């Protein structure tokens, strides 16, 4: 596989007023290096406020990085991209938002919503667009007889299917799915996840999948990047993350997953997190995780660890990893 999206030293700091004249910077993303391979599903996980959604928006050009660069298919998606590159990016990279109730225009019919990208990108004549929209409805499991209905006439799961159809309309290469099932009933979540898997297989899509639910991530993702306070602290294939987590924060996330088999002892139960994440306005010195880490040593309080290879295809940012794996 070849890298379709590349992030190098990507940083996003938002200025925040403090007091009457003071100003600080909220470090939403803080020096991230990442590749997204063509055809894979990369999961980005972490607690709320860790920067995963901001990173995803940087990857697809919805936000401009404060420092570093993001490249899609070889060109910079930030400043300096040409008009042709901008058109290609907007066609090739689409997003499915978390809230199916707020992401659809209530004044447009479902058919008009899905057709809109075709109109914007001037793809096909009017009758060709109508045929394309009907095909997209079928592809996401909706009847073309629903084309004239408005968003309020659909359930949450059906609205998310409409959002997925809209994302597919321009024929994208990459889809950013920003917690697309978190606001849906559990019974509907699995259907949407299965639909995303089927579409990826049939269309050769690349997914960047944002989630805080490790069970959902295991079902859909090939690799996982674990974020904490704006930084990636672990990056590995999905099986490695679940079977051989190396960062204490990753272990804590896995320990928090509900145990659906209570007769089996919970592994890593002692890793459960305590306390709240520090503010990205005032991040701790050294390793950002050390105030909550049961393994923290003096070096953790003084020096931030680099993300380094700890085993084949496995990276972790922890001073204690070498000690743990000897």
Question: pLDDT-derived band of residue 114, with 50, 70 and 90 as boundaries?
Answer: very high
Long-range Cβ contacts of 79-88 (<8 Å, 24+ apart)? 87/121
Q: How confident is the model at residue 271 (pLDDT cuts 50, 70, 90)?
A: low
For the stretch 163-179, pLDDT in tens is: 999 999 999 999 999 99
Assigned token pair, 206:
């690349």
- Mean pLDDT of the residues in the chain: 89
Distance separating alpha carbons of residues 129 and 150, to the nearest angstrom: 19
Q: Which of 17-26, 75-84, 109-118 has the lowest mean pLDDT?
A: 17-26
User: Is 3-102+174-187+200-325 assigned to CATH 3.40.50.300?
Assistant: yes
Contact predicate 151/110, CB 8 Å: yes
What six digits make up the tokens of 37? Answer: 């391979």
- Per-residue pLDDT, 325: 47
Residue 4, phi then psi, degrees to nearest 5: -95, -40
Positive or negative torsion for Cα 38, 41, 47, 48: positive
Report d(CA 130, CA 123) in Å as an integer: 11
| Residue 1 CB burial class (10 angstroms; 0-12, 13-18, ≥19) | exposed
The helix/strand/coil state of 210 is strand
Contact 12, 54 (CB under 8 A): yes
What predicted TM-score, i.e. pTM, was given to this entire model? 0.90
């Amino acid at each position: 596989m070849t890298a379709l999206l590349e992030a190098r030293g990507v940083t996003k700091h938002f200025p925040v007023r403090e007091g009457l004249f003071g100003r600080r910077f909220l470090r939403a993303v803080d020096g991230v290096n990442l590749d997204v391979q063509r055809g894979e599903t990369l999961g980005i996980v972490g607690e709320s406020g860790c920067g995963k959604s901001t990173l995803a928006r940087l990857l697809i050009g919805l936000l401009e990085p404060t420092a570093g660069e993001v490249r899609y298919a070889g060109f910079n998606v930030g400043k300096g991209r040409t008009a042709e590159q901008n058109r290609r990016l907007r066609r090739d990279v689409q997003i499915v938002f978390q809230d199916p109730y707020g992401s659809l225009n209530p004044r447009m019919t479902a058919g008009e919503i899905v057709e809109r990208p075709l109109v914007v990108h001037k793809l096909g004549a009017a009758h060709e667009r109508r045929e394309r929209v009907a095909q997209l409805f079928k592809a996401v499991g909706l009847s073309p007889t629903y084309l004239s209905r408005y968003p309020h006439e659909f359930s949450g799961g059906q609205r998310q299917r409409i959002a997925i159809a809209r994302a597919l309309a321009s024929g994208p290469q990459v889809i950013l799915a920003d917690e697309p099932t978190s606001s849906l009933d559990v019974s509907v979540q699995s259907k949407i996840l299965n639909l995303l898997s089927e579409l990826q297989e049939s269309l050769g899509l690349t997914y960047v999948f944002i989630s805080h639910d490790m069970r959902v991530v295991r079902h859909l993702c090939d690799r996982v990047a674990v974020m904490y306070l704006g930084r990636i602290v672990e990056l590995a294939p999905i099986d490695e993350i679940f079977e051989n987590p190396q960062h204490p924060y990753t272990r804590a996330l896995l320990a928090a997953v509900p145990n659906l088999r209570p007769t089996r002892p919970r592994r890593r139960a002692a890793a459960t997190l305590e306390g709240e994440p520090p503010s990205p306005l005032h991040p701790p010195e050294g390793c950002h995780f050390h105030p909550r880490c049961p393994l923290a040593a003096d070096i953790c309080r003084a020096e931030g660890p680099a993300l380094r290879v700890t085993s084949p295809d496995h990276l972790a940012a922890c001073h204690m990893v070498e000690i743990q794996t000897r």
